[in-house]
Amino acid sequence: MTASNRIVLSSDHSAIALRQAIGGHVAALGWVVVDIGPTTAESTDYPAHGEAAARRVASGDCRFGIILCGTGQGIMMAANKVKGVRCGVCADTFSARMIRQHNDANMLSIGARVVGEGLALDIVEAFLTAPFDGGRHAPRVAMIGALDG
Ligand code: RB5
């Protein structure tokens, strides 16, 4: 089994519609979407959803993760507690490219109450298409990993 074309999606209750729109877009780009919910608008706890998605990435089941909550901040904080995960919140395409190129981010977080659907889809595409630059950035990323735990 290869994780190279699998991407996990999760959110809290505040971001279900945007998460589903992102899922459709990402699938159209050729990714296998692993949407782990939730599916109802009932209030739910973003740390649990951030952790669940992060574990799919950290375990190697999925190459990337995209997570959402109202601001993108809380769910990002939870995901970054999982060893091996590097997740950034992005509300612009430049940052989405840079967290791949310089930080080798494996997860992207978006605030559903911050960005509209059109920009969110552009952010996702920027994140998924930018390669890690390596070179001088590699030891810095390794330093982040050394801080885990
Ligand atoms: C939920 O109301 C909200 O707190 C959550 O979606 C997120 O913004 C937390 O960081």
Please give the residue range of the domain that contains residue 117. 3-146
pLDDT digits (tens, 9 = 90+) for 92-143: 999 999 999 999 999 999 999 999 999 999 999 999 999 999 999 999 999 9
Q: How many domains does the chain have?
A: 1
Q: Which of 25, 49, 62, 69 is labelled catalytic?
A: 69
Quick check: 77 and 50 in contact, CB under 8 A? Answer: yes
Q: Which residue has the tokens 């810095």?
A: 140
CATH of the domain at 79: 3.40.1400.10
User: Ligand 1 within 6 A of 46 CB?
Assistant: yes
- How many Å lie between the centroid of ligand 1 and the Cα of residue 49? 12
Task: Say if pTM beats, i.e. exceeds, 0.95.
Answer: yes
pLDDT digits (tens, 9 = 90+) for 31-75: 999 999 999 989 999 999 999 999 999 999 999 999 999 999 999
- In a 13 Å sphere around the CA of 45, the CA atoms on its Cβ side amount to 5
Higher pLDDT, 42 or 148: 42
Helices 93-101, 117-129: crossing angle, 10 deg rounding: 20
User: Ligand 1 within 6 A of 107 CB?
Assistant: no
φ and ψ of 10, to 5 deg: -155, 165
* Annotated catalytic residue 13: no
Residue nearest to atom 4 of ligand 1 (CA): 70
